[in-house]
Chains A and B, each alone.
Chain A
Amino acid sequence: MSLMTQQSSEQIDVSQARGRVSWSRILGTVVLSLITLGVLWFVITNERFEWPVVWEYLFNPSVLLGLMMSLFLTVTAMTLGTMLGVVLAAGQLSDYWPYRWACIIFVGFFRGVPPLVQLIFWYNLAYLLPRISVTLPGDREVVGWSTNDLITPLTAAVIGLSLHQSAYMAEIIRAGLLSVDRGQHDAASAMGFSRWNTFSRIVLPQAMRVIIPPSGSQIIALLKGTSLVSVIAMGDLLHAVQVIYNRTYDVVPMLLVAVIWYLVVVTLLTLVQRRIEEHFGRGDAQSRVRAVSGKESTT
């Protein structure tokens, strides 16, 4: 052994070293390649996928319309849900117990109720509450609407998904806020920043690093969750392809059309998420410095 070890007197430059051969990695690569080939083979050669039908319907107007509706619901529910979620998160951390408990109960409730149940409930709100109105003492109605006029499939979908989303976002944001060092609050209040300035300029931007990754997953879950609204006759992406295959019986290719669109949107969302993560990672030690080693290591 000692014969093979280089003596220190000779000139050594480790930049001349070659990568180490790792048999376990080579084996892993081979297995992964075989699996990839197998899947591609299955997808391409299997007649039943009916790829020509997929291409024919991929840009079909009613499919695109359904996609738009899914995107609209996702954006709306995410926006409203996040705004409400911020308030709920701050409320849960309030040192005033009535606020704290109101928010904890609200979040607990809407996190616990399945979104499908909520959608059906909001859609049928008129059954419990035929009229929504503000009434003064002495039964003088100031403003009022018939519930059936207010609750369309669209409003029911927006309300249901937003409330569901707000409860989840509240928990994500709360965890983010708690991750910010206590000293940051101290420094901000010692400098005389108002509560709002402390929250919006100091605490929230730092919490973002913790908030964004799970929020990305949450948006993606929401996008797929919009397919639930087909039960209350909303024309989302899944609903659109269902309408078509109920007519043509091309179930598999039509589902593929939906899958392709979901994957396209999810991929785009993921790219955006990475960019945002980089933005909020500035000034942070872990985010940039990635040890990049040119050489293979064994383990």
Chain B
Amino acid sequence: MSAAAHDVSTDAVQETLRPVIEVQNLRKVYGGVPALDGVDLQVRPGEVVAVLGPSGSGKSTLVRCIDQLEEIDGGAVFLDGELLGYEQTPGGLRPLSERGRRDQRRLMSMVFQQFNLFPHWTVLRNVMEAPVQVHGLSRDQARQKAVQLLERVGLAEKVLAYPRHLSGGQQQRVAIARAVAVDPRVLLFDEPTSALDPELIGEVLQTIKDLAAGNRTMIVVTHELEFAREVADRCVFMADGRLIEDRPPEEFFTDPRSERLQAFLPRSHGGSGQERS
């Protein structure tokens, strides 16, 4: 466990600094092969954590396990100190009911690489349906809020369009609005720009930056090093299902400790610090 993380956990009396997400020794196995091999991670309120690493290192698996889209095989994940997916019963630790898991899931939101908008619903309905169905807002309240959010991501004129009429970048901005609409405790991003044409990446990254500035807790899996460096409070590096570096972005990029990370970062990122921007 890194020194920074240690400081905070000993200081746990301060309720406000309790981690929003705490991952302890998380393990996930696919067909005998570990995809996550004992991952520890803490994310404090308002913190933006960028997850970097080569393909197949377990980044997607990590965020999917946090969001309970995958069953975990070992370790534990806590949200605001509450164990996710399991409960202590007199008969020992048992999986939580479907309903219990749902109640925990609604506190988190996820933005996917492939957007995963609901194609049979308009943009507006995509954004307002979860607040109505899951969080009990009235349709009017939800609509108002959705329109506001869509304005904020620059899609005010598209509220009544169907997703397929939008560009990839616009679809992803809708997906971000949809994720934010439920006021999640933590926002998870799994390579939000990897499926986009290069000229559309910028607008989506800008949307995420704006969110990050608004004091939201976020875990962002990304291949955009520039973006990670600029937006993240901490960068973590994964390789072979392990989290092998967890540092503030400046150190992460200028002084990588592990050889794996040194090999992963392109030359331009080491040393000098002169960057395109």
Interface residues of A, Cβ cutoff 8 Å to B: 181, 183-184, 186-195, 197, 201-202, 205-206, 280, 282-285
Residues on B with C-beta less than 8 A from A186 are: 64, 69, 110, 112, 116
Contact call B130/A191, Cβ cutoff below 8 A: yes
A284 to B164, CA, bound (A): 7
Residues on A with C-beta less than 8 A from B120 are: 205-206, 280, 282-284
Q: Using A186-B116, A187-B112, A285-B164 as known contacts, say yes or no to A192 and B121 having CB atoms under 8 A apart.
A: no
A115 to B134, CA, bound (A): 44
Contact call A197/B69, Cβ cutoff below 8 A: no
Contact call A190/B98, Cβ cutoff below 8 A: no
Contact call A283/B69, Cβ cutoff below 8 A: no
CB distance from A99 to the nearest CB of B (A): 15
Residues on B with C-beta less than 8 A from A188 are: 118
Give 1 or 0 for each of B26-65: 1 = CB within 8 Å of chain A CB: 0000000000000000000000000000000000000010
Residues on B with C-beta less than 8 A from A283 are: 119-121, 162-164
Would you give 11 A-B contacts (Cβ < 8 Å), ordered by A? A186-B110, A190-B110, A191-B106, A192-B103, A192-B182, A194-B102, A280-B120, A282-B120, A283-B120, A283-B162, A283-B164
Residues on A with C-beta less than 8 A from B2 are: none
CB distance from B136 to the nearest CB of A (A): 11
Contact call A190/B114, Cβ cutoff below 8 A: no
Contact call B130/A192, Cβ cutoff below 8 A: yes
Contact call A190/B105, Cβ cutoff below 8 A: yes
How many interface residues does B have (CB within 8 Å)?
A: 29
Asked if B22 lies at the interface with its beta carbon under 8 angstroms from chain A, I say no
Residues on A with C-beta less than 8 A from B69 are: 186, 189-190
Contact call A187/B106, Cβ cutoff below 8 A: no
A172 to B127, CA, bound (A): 31
Contact call A183/B112, Cβ cutoff below 8 A: yes
A202 to B130, CA, bound (A): 12
Closest to A186 in B: B69
Most B CB within 10 A of own CB, among A191, A202, A205: A191
Contact call A184/B118, Cβ cutoff below 8 A: yes
Contact call B119/A189, Cβ cutoff below 8 A: no
Residues on B with C-beta less than 8 A from A192 are: 102-103, 105-106, 130, 134, 182
Residues on A with C-beta less than 8 A from B64 are: 186
Asked if B133 lies at the interface with its beta carbon under 8 angstroms from chain A, I say yes
Asked if B108 lies at the interface with its beta carbon under 8 angstroms from chain A, I say yes
Q: Using A202-B118, A283-B121 as known contacts, say yes or no to A190 and B164 having CB atoms under 8 A apart.
A: no
Within 8 A of A (CB), among B112-142: 112, 114, 116-121, 129-130, 133-134
Asked if B246 lies at the interface with its beta carbon under 8 angstroms from chain A, I say no
A165 to B120, CA, bound (A): 28
A187 to B133, CA, bound (A): 14
Residues on A with C-beta less than 8 A from B121 are: 283
Contact call A191/B112, Cβ cutoff below 8 A: no
Partner of A284, one of B67, B112, B117, B119: B119
Asked if B193 lies at the interface with its beta carbon under 8 angstroms from chain A, I say no
Residues on B with C-beta less than 8 A from A189 are: 69, 102, 105
Q: Other than A187-B110, A187-B118, A193-B102, give 20 A-B pairs with Cβ distance below 8 A.
A: A183-B112, A184-B116, A186-B112, A186-B116, A189-B105, A190-B109, A191-B106, A191-B134, A191-B182, A192-B182, A193-B134, A194-B99, A194-B102, A195-B98, A197-B133, A201-B129, A206-B120, A280-B120, A283-B121, A283-B162
Contact call B67/A190, Cβ cutoff below 8 A: yes
Residues on B with C-beta less than 8 A from A187 are: 110, 112, 116-118
Within 8 A of A (CB), among B151-170: 162-164
Give 1 or 0 for each of B216-243: 1 = CB within 8 Å of chain A CB: 0000000000000000000000000000
CB distance from B54 to the nearest CB of A (A): 23
Residues on A with C-beta less than 8 A from B102 are: 189, 192-194
Residues on A with C-beta less than 8 A from B106 are: 191-192
Give 1 or 0 for each of B72-105: 1 = CB within 8 Å of chain A CB: 0000000000000000000000000011001101
CB distance from A153 to the nearest CB of B (A): 42
CB distance from A179 to the nearest CB of B (A): 13
Residues on A with C-beta less than 8 A from B103 are: 192
CB distance from A211 to the nearest CB of B (A): 13
Contact call A193/B130, Cβ cutoff below 8 A: yes
Closest to A281 in B: B120
Closest to B113 in A: A183
CB distance from B164 to the nearest CB of A (A): 5
Closest to B181 in A: A191
CB distance from A277 to the nearest CB of B (A): 13
Residues on B with C-beta less than 8 A from A183 are: 112, 114, 116
Contact call A193/B110, Cβ cutoff below 8 A: no
